[in-house]
Amino acid sequence: MTLRFVALLSVFLCALGVGQEAFAYLDPGTGSMLLQLLLGGIAGALMIVKLYWARLKDFLFRRKSKPRDRTEQ
């Protein structure tokens, strides 16, 4: 299962390779890098959900308030 997971991750990484190549005297370790990708991915996904949640609320609020706007006009 972990094998499939790593394979999947590296495919994902190839598609995602947009960052700057990092050089350091320290070896960051593959496990740490994959984990950060995962955590970053989760944080990114949460942000997207949050963003869309705000848009959804915004959308619902506008639809509700629109008729009232008209009567006020």
What does the binding site for another protein look like in residue numbers (CB under 8 A)?
Answer: 2-3, 5-7, 10, 13-14, 16-22, 24-40, 43-44, 47
Residues 6+ apart with CB under 8 A from 30: none
Q: How far is the CB of 57 from another protein (least distance, A)?
A: 21
Q: Which is nearer to another protein, 40 or 62 (CB)?
A: 40
Burial class (CB in 10 A: 0-12, 13-18, 19+), 18: exposed
Q: Which is nearer to another protein, 48 or 60 (CB)?
A: 48
